[in-house]
Amino acid sequence: MRPELRSRLVFGISMSALVILAVCTDIQRHSHLGVLLLGILGVVLGCREYARLARVHAPQVQLLPMITVSILLTVVGSQAAAIDQHLEAWLPGLGRDLGGNRPIAPLSALLIGLGMAWVMLNQMARHGAQDFFANVGASMLGMVYMGVVFLVLMQLVALDGSRDYYHSLTGFDGRGGLLILLFLGSTKLGDVAAYFGGRAFGRHKMAPSISPGKTWEGFAFSFVGAIGGAYLMTWVLSLAYPHGPFNGWWQPFVWGLVLGPFGVAGDLAESCMKRDAAMKDSGTAMGGFGGFLDIYDALVLAAPVAYVLALLL
């Protein structure tokens, strides 16, 4: 076994165990604290690596606003229910005034808007019009790339399973925790299957100008990994808890079928960033994997789709 592959296996298993431990502990304690702390750590690592890549073309990309707003969005996503209760207590009828919508949506939009104001004012005060589009655009993209995606992931964790959903006498408030494990497991297994399938059978280049190693054969294997991973994770989680992440046999198939290509697309998007910055990896924090963004990439475009699927399935 090659040293790089051995390093990836050891680090990947250790990191997976940490995430599983945090989520399972949260489910047992009816909390989201463990996932929130992991999310904040991911935001800090990811924003730093993103800024490192962006500075090649946006020399004054603003790291502090990016990290601050992204952390706040992560906290808002994790504590959505508590925030709703406090806002309703302080401002009775707020939900009705918003047409029945949860206050979480305008609060998230407000944070992004304030972040944009912070970035623009800081750019004008320090650098004027110099590299305005590059600096402001890269800073705002970083907030979306990290903050909005973690907001969605935290809202996925917060989803509950009602008695009506499970057609049972009991519900399960830990469904969101199972969904995040399912999402991470199926998406990354799709990524792993694409990697090994492409190495073994890859003949036709998928996007040689972006990522020369990606092949259409590997892309096909990503469906096998994502769908197989969805069924495997669903089965294991259903054995460990009173209810699984879904209430039927067909949902894991749809889950893996839809999310598989989004994981590959997210990987290609990060490859564009690295190629544009002329860097092989986003960083060195993740051992044989490179940087945090090198393992986060497959989740970016798939996360919003996973949240919608969780609501529909």
Q: Give the residue from 158, 180, 206 where a domain finishes.
A: 158
Kindly state whether residues 104 and 136 are assigned to the same domain.
yes
Kindly state whether residues 54 and 151 are assigned to the same domain.
yes
Kindly state whether residues 190 and 227 are assigned to the same domain.
yes
Q: Give the residue from 99, 131, 158 where a domain finishes.
A: 158
Task: Tell me the β-bridge partners of 161.
Answer: 172
pLDDT of residue 54: 93
Place 101 in a pLDDT band, splitting at 50, 70 and 90.
very low
| Segments forming the whole domain that contains residue 150 | 32-158
pLDDT of residue 98: 44
pLDDT of residue 30: 86
pTM over 0.85: yes
Q: Give the residue from 112, 139, 158 where a domain finishes.
A: 158
Kindly state whether residues 151 and 180 are assigned to the same domain.
no
Instruction: Identify which has the larger pLDDT, 269 or 81.
Output: 269
Kindly state whether residues 49 and 140 are assigned to the same domain.
yes
Kindly state whether residues 188 and 144 are assigned to the same domain.
no
Cα separation values, 15 from 11, 24, 192, 286, Å: 6, 14, 15, 9
Between CA 93 and CA 79 the distance in angstroms is 20
Kindly state whether residues 178 and 312 are assigned to the same domain.
yes
Between CA 99 and CA 238 the distance in angstroms is 37
pLDDT of residue 196: 83
Place 113 in a pLDDT band, splitting at 50, 70 and 90.
very high
The answer to whether position 279 is within a domain reads yes
Kindly state whether residues 87 and 211 are assigned to the same domain.
no
State yes or no: pLDDT of 95 exceeds 70: no
Between CA 47 and CA 110 the distance in angstroms is 20
The answer to whether position 17 is within a domain reads no
Between CA 163 and CA 180 the distance in angstroms is 20
The answer to whether position 65 is within a domain reads yes
Instruction: Identify which has the larger pLDDT, 217 or 89.
Output: 217
Express each pLDDT in 120-157 by its tens digit. Answer: 999 999 999 999 999 999 999 999 999 999 999 999 99
What is the number of domains present in the chain?
Answer: 2
Place 188 in a pLDDT band, splitting at 50, 70 and 90.
confident
Kindly state whether residues 168 and 305 are assigned to the same domain.
yes
- Mean pLDDT, rounded, of the chain: 86
Instruction: Identify which has the larger pLDDT, 291 or 82.
Output: 291
The answer to whether position 4 is within a domain reads no
Kindly state whether residues 175 and 196 are assigned to the same domain.
yes
pLDDT of residue 80: 66
The answer to whether position 139 is within a domain reads yes
Percent of the chain exceeding pLDDT 70 equals: 88
pLDDT of residue 86: 55
The answer to whether position 18 is within a domain reads no
